[in-house]
């Protein structure tokens, strides 16, 4: 090689290496090719965001990163436990079940809802501002209310109206949130009714809507039912608002959810309780003691559809708050207690039975419900039997003697006397409270395993009467008989949104602990 050639080679190489300044490819390098660019996402973005809100109404393992353990800590170890549906069989028993609130569990609903449901909602709202579509906004608002009323029902005053406008949003009072949610439903229902009239048999987001395949008529029925649920929730705090809003739904021309085929449900999903019971340490959860008392006492035909029989062929629940260090006798393999029959559970937001029981309560309260409390009550029980595939609803409804059983601890010594003496058969001559308890008790069985709703309604009405935990580890903060009234705010808010938290604490009406009653908790 001649020296000239070598110099030439070096000159060429060095000029190739001397690329500094020639950085035009950098724009291309710094785009993640494994993800969707804004341009690629644009045609499917609004539908995907809509679906993301749906997928986070009740958290489940949807393949995008939400896990069964998110359901476990957000619901199963919180509302499901406090509703008496299931009992945790883990740790030393000093946990949410014994009123010792575990922040890493109780913050989960908060974090998931705001960073997933509301994140998608805020982005969808921004898209809708750029290209308005009132029908989509209406459906998104209904979804948002479905998802977020759980959050205020857990914690009380929470950020709602300011979410998306601030990274440290102020909280809204629960009253304001309920008024806003009801107003949003009012608007959404009107918009969708108008849309449906103008576009008969048209579908919105048919490919994305996991619940109603974009059928606006079904969305109106669902929204009416949801409005009835929320209206009834505030009945002890603002009876006038409750009645007004309820009667709008009860008299709406599109009607309410009336059959199980109309239930709001995401189908084809394995309910997270299945994983939590079967695969998490051979049962991190089992059927609760309160379920045991009612299903056994009534010899309820739904008994072994809701719970699996223990090895002795009976249903045995587990009481909350047992101090224990060895859970082996409570595990599935031991067979001493009943596992949830979770393979049969569906990921349901609202069902026909719940709607009938709400109507029964409206009638009981003397509102214009379009029927009698008894008829609605019986329709609710029948709808529930139909949904579970249980036979014998008529005989069950005629039973005026069976009462809830005492709780017998199949493993330890945490037995308890019967929580109530309420019977099944409706009796018009019973007083208001008795019939209310009857309605609420049957609703509680019928909405299983929707712990969120059951726990909220328990707090609103004090029904059904639930077995108290074996131990109360709240240091006197939570009254054993009144049980948990709310979930304390996540500790992280102190560091991350101190300003907003201060507004929440000022509206809470009590200290930030689990014994403080929420605004609608006025009975």
Partner 1 sequence: MRGTKSLSNNNNALYVIDGIPMPSLSSEQPEGVFAGAGQTGDGLAAINPDDIESISVLSGPSAAALYGSTAANGVVIITTKKGSKDRLSVNYSNTTEFSRAYIMPSFQNTYGQTEYGSYQSWGEKLPAASGYSPRDFFQTGINETNSISLSSGNDRNQIYVSLGATNASGIIRNNDVDKYNFNVRNTTNFLKDKLTLDVSASYSNIKEQNMIAQGQYMNPVLPVYLFPAGGDFEAVKIYERYNAERGVKTQYWPYGNDFAMQNPYWITENQKYNNNKNRIMATAQLSYRPLKWLTVSVRGKFDLDSEEHERKFDAGTSQLFASKYGYYSKANNKTIQKFGEVIATADKYFGADNEVSLTATVGANVEDISYSSDYVGGNLAAVNNLFTFGNIDNGHSATELKQEGYHKQKQAVFANVQIGYRSMVYLDVTARNDWSSTFAYSDYRSVFYPTVGLSGIVTEFIPGLKSDIFPYWKIRASYSEVGNDPEPYLTYPTYSVVGGILTTKTRMDNTDLQPERTKSWEVGTNIHFFRSKLQIDATWYKSSTFNQFFEPALSATSNWTSVILNGGQVDNTGIELAVRYGDDFGVKDFHWDTYMTYSHNKNTVVKMLDSWYVDKTGETISLKRMDVGGFGGVKNILYEGGSMTDVYVTTLATDEKGYLQQTSTGNVIADYSDEGLIYAGDTAPKHLLSWGNNFSYKGFSLGFLFTARIGGVAISKTQAVMDYYGISQATADARDRGYVMINGMKSPNVKEYYQVLGANDGVMSQYVYDATNIRLGELSLGYDFPVQKWCSWLKGLNVSFVGHNLLMIYKKAPFDPEMTASTGTYNQGIDYFMQPSLRSLGFSVKIKL
Enumerate residues 391-430 that contact partner 1 by CB under 8 A.
none
The reply to whether 21 sits near partner 1 by the rule CB under 8 A is yes
For residues 366 and 335, is the Cβ–Cβ distance under 8 A? no
User: Interface with partner 1 by CB under 8 A: which range of 193-201, 246-254, 326-334, 455-463?
Assistant: 326-334
Three-state SS at 264: strand
Which two three-digit tokens encode residue 523? 């009975």
Residue-wise over 68-77: b if at least 16 C-beta within 10 A, else e?
bbbbbbbbbb
Among 4, 5, 63, 253, contact with partner 1 (rule: CB under 8 A): 63
Q: Say how far apart CA 392 and CA 71 lie, in whole Å.
A: 33
Question: In the complex with partner 1, which residue's Cβ is closer, 310 or 436?
Answer: 310
Shortest distance (Å) from residue 110 CB to partner 1 = 6
Which two three-digit tokens encode residue 44? 């499917």
Three-state SS at 292: helix
Three-state SS at 517: coil
Among 131, 197, 198, 495, contact with partner 1 (rule: CB under 8 A): 495
Shortest distance (Å) from residue 268 CB to partner 1 = 10
Among 128, 241, 266, 270, contact with partner 1 (rule: CB under 8 A): 270
CA neighbor of 310 nearest in space, from 282, 279, 331, 281? 331
User: Interface with partner 1 by CB under 8 A: which range of 18-26, 127-135, 211-219, 304-312?
Assistant: 18-26
User: Interface with partner 1 by CB under 8 A: which range of 155-163, 219-227, 286-294, 345-353?
Assistant: 155-163
The reply to whether 10 sits near partner 1 by the rule CB under 8 A is yes
What track of x and - describes contact with partner 1 for positions 99 through 128 (by CB under 8 A)?
---xx------xxxxxxx-xxx-xx-----
The reply to whether 505 sits near partner 1 by the rule CB under 8 A is no
Shortest distance (Å) from residue 116 CB to partner 1 = 7
Q: Say how far apart CA 160 and CA 114 lie, in whole Å.
A: 10
Shortest distance (Å) from residue 98 CB to partner 1 = 12
Q: Where are the alpha helices (DSSP H) in 279-389?
A: 289-297, 303-306, 352-364, 373-388
Among 158, 231, 264, 447, contact with partner 1 (rule: CB under 8 A): 158
User: Interface with partner 1 by CB under 8 A: which range of 236-244, 273-281, 374-382, 429-437?
Assistant: 273-281
Shortest distance (Å) from residue 325 CB to partner 1 = 5
The conformation of residue 479, written as its DSSP 8-state character, comes to -
Residue-wise over 113-142: b if at least 16 C-beta within 10 A, else e?
bbebbbbbbbbbbebbeeeeeebbbbbbbb
Question: In the complex with partner 1, which residue's Cβ is closer, 107 or 302?
Answer: 107
Q: Say how far apart CA 387 and CA 445 lie, in whole Å.
A: 12
Shortest distance (Å) from residue 168 CB to partner 1 = 6
């Amino acid at each position: 090689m001649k020296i000239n050639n070598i110099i030439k080679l070096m000159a060429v190489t060095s000029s190739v290496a001397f690329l500094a300044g020639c950085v035009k490819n950098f724009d291309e390098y710094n785009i993640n090719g494994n993800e969707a660019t804004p341009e690629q996402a644009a045609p499917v973005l609004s539908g995907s965001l809509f679906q993301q809100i749906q997928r986070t109404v009740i958290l489940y393992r949807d393949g995008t990163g939400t896990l069964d353990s998110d359901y476990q800590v957000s619901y199963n170890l919180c509302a499901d436990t406090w509703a008496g549906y299931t009992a945790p069989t883990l740790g030393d028993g000093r946990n949410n079940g014994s009123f010792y609130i575990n922040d890493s569990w109780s913050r989960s609903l908060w974090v998931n809802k705001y960073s997933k449901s509301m994140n998608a909602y805020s982005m969808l709202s921004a898209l809708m501002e750029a290209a308005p579509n009132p029908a989509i906004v209406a459906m998104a608002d209904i979804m948002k209310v479905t998802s977020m009323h759980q959050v205020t029902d857990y914690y009380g005053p929470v950020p709602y109206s300011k979410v998306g406008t601030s990274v440290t949003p102020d909280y809204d009072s629960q009253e304001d949130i309920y008024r806003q949610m009801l107003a949003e439903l009012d608007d959404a229902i009107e918009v969708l009714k108008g849309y449906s009239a103008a576009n008969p048999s048209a579908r919105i987001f048919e490919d994305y809507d996991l619940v109603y395949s974009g059928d606006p008529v079904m969305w109106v029925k669902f929204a009416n039912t949801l409005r009835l649920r929320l209206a009834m929730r505030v009945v002890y705090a603002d009876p006038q608002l409750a009645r007004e809003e309820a009667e709008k739904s009860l008299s709406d021309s599109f009607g309410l959810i009336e059959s199980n085929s109309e239930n709001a449900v995401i189908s084809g999903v394995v309910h997270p309780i299945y994983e939590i019971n079967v695969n998490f340490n051979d049962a991190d959860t089992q059927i609760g003691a309160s379920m045991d008392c009612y299903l056994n006492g009534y010899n309820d035909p739904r008994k072994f559809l809701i719970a699996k029989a223990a090895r002795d062929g009976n249903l045995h629940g587990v009481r909350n708050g047992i101090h224990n260090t060895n859970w082996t006798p409570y595990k599935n393999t031991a067979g001493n207690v009943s596992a949830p029959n979770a393979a049969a559970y569906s990921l349901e937001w609202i069902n026909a039975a719940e709607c009938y029981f709400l109507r029964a309560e409206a009638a009981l309260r003397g509102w214009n419900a379009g029927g009698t409390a008894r008829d609605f009550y019986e329709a609710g029980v029948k709808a529930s039997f139909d949904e579970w595939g249980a036979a014998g609803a008529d005989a069950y409804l005629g039973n005026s003697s069976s009462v809830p059983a005492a709780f017998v601890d199949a493993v330890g010594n945490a037995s308890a006397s019967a929580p109530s003496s309420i019977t099944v058969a409706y009796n018009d001559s019973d007083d208001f409270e008795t019939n209310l308890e009857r309605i609420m008790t049957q609703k509680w069985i019928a909405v299983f395993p929707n712990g969120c709703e059951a726990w909220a309604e328990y707090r609103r009405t004090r029904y059904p009467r639930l077995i108290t935990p074996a131990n109360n580890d709240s240091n006197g903060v939570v009254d054993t008989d009144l049980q948990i009234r709310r979930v304390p705010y996540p500790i992280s808010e102190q560091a991350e949104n101190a300003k907003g938290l201060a507004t929440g604490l000022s509206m809470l009406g009590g200290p930030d602990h689990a014994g403080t009653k929420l605004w609608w908790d006025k009975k």
